[in-house]
Amino acid sequence: MTVSDPVVEAVVATIGRSATEIRQGLIGRRGTVDEENPSGETQAEADVWADDLLGDRLVGIDGVGQYASEERAEVVDCGADPAESDAYAVAVDPLDGSSNLKSNNTMGTIFGVYDAALPARGETLVAAGFVLYGPITTMLIATEETVTEYELSGGERTIVDRDVTLPDEPVVYGFGGRVPDWPDDFHAYAREIEDELKLRYGGALIGDVNQVLTYGGTFGYPALESRPEGKLRLQFEGNPIGYVVERAGGRSSNGDRSLLAVEPDGLHDRTPVHVGNDELIERLEAALA
């Protein structure tokens, strides 16, 4: 099943087709380069390589006016300003969870298609999703209509779920950051959740969020004492994941409001990220109020 908007379909088909190559290309690229990304983090060889591969292909799509990635300081102008045309802006985390490369654990590629110039509020997303490099390579695509899950093989995508919906009963949770670095109000909330749900934390946002989408529950990378703005990036991680979970019937929050309502200042702004079942996010926001 293709996505109705032809530009969005071209973007997701390009990412889906590239996924098999990216997965194969991780072999031999598990080291780090002595460069930092705009967030000041050491880059893995595979981060740079996946960004080059995806960037080259996505900038050439008719209807894509801007490309941005967590690996590049600036937005790449693709010839049309989304603020003044019907072109879209595509934001990508080419390799999410790249610290899992060394330990051979789950990783992914995250994308958001914004109908606005970047940096933009998540409310301007028209589509978002991710590729999950797990035992099987899968892809989740969320649009205004629905959330669809595909299995990817040989550049083709096969539908496995036409209407991904968060299960009503929460089962799993995962919270990032070090426990001593959690503010007291979040710590108290986390203690409650730990008594109720099962821990699933794998160090890659999309792997942990896919657990929540599959079993119900919540994932959070909270504001920390040492880092009140949190770790995850709004444009490349928070907004796309918030959009997917909200389209799947759940909620997202920066601790105070939907991630999609957060007004960005800069392209690489960080934000606390919380996603999951309605009731759990409601309790979180009450705990941090």
**Residues at the contact surface with ligand AHG, assessed by CB under 6 A:** 41, 93, 96-99, 176, 203-205, 221, 231
Residue nearest to Mn ion (CB): 96
Contact 244, 208 (CB under 8 A): no
Q: How far apart are CA 211 and CA 202, in angstroms?
A: 10
Strands 88-96 and 64-69: parallel
Q: Which of the listed partners (ligand AHG, Mn ion, none) does 204 bind, with a CB threshold of 5 to 8 Å by partner kind? A: ligand AHG
Q: What are phi and psi of 135, to 5 degrees?
A: -50, -35
96 binds Mn ion (CB under 5 A): yes
Mask of contacts with Mn ion, 233-272, x by CB under 5 A? Answer: ----x-----------------------------------
Cβ 209 to Mn ion, closest distance in Å?
11
Size of the site for Mn ion (CB under 5 A): 4
Residue among 95 and 224 whose Cβ is closer to Mn ion: 95
Find where tokens 């960080």 sit: 270
Pseudo-torsion of CA 161, 167, 170, 174, nearest 10°?
20
In 3-state terms, what secondary structure has residue 246? helix
Which tokens go with 168?
């009503």
Cβ 85 to ligand AHG, closest distance in Å?
30
Site for Mn ion in 198-237 (CB under 5 A): 237
Q: Helices 205-215 and 239-247 meet at what angle, rounded to 10?
A: 10
Residue among 203 and 249 whose Cβ is closer to ligand AHG: 203
Q: Which of the listed partners (Mn ion, ligand AHG, none) does 234 bind, with a CB threshold of 5 to 8 Å by partner kind? A: none
> What type of residue sits at position 156?
E
Neighbour-count burial for 165-189, b at 16+ CB within 10 Å, e otherwise: ebbeebbbbbbbbeeeebbebbeeb
Contact 250, 233 (CB under 8 A): no
Cβ 107 to ligand AHG, closest distance in Å?
8
Cβ 184 to Mn ion, closest distance in Å?
27
Residue among 97 and 217 whose Cβ is closer to ligand AHG: 97
93 binds Mn ion (CB under 5 A): yes
Q: Which of the listed partners (Mn ion, ligand AHG, none) does 264 bind, with a CB threshold of 5 to 8 Å by partner kind? A: none
Which tokens go with 100?
């899992």
Q: Which of the listed partners (Mn ion, ligand AHG, none) does 16 bind, with a CB threshold of 5 to 8 Å by partner kind? A: none
Contact 31, 45 (CB under 8 A): yes
Residue among 204 and 223 whose Cβ is closer to ligand AHG: 204
Residue nearest to ligand AHG (CB): 205
Cβ 88 to ligand AHG, closest distance in Å?
22
By the criterion CB under 5 A, which residues form the site for Mn ion?
93, 95-96, 237
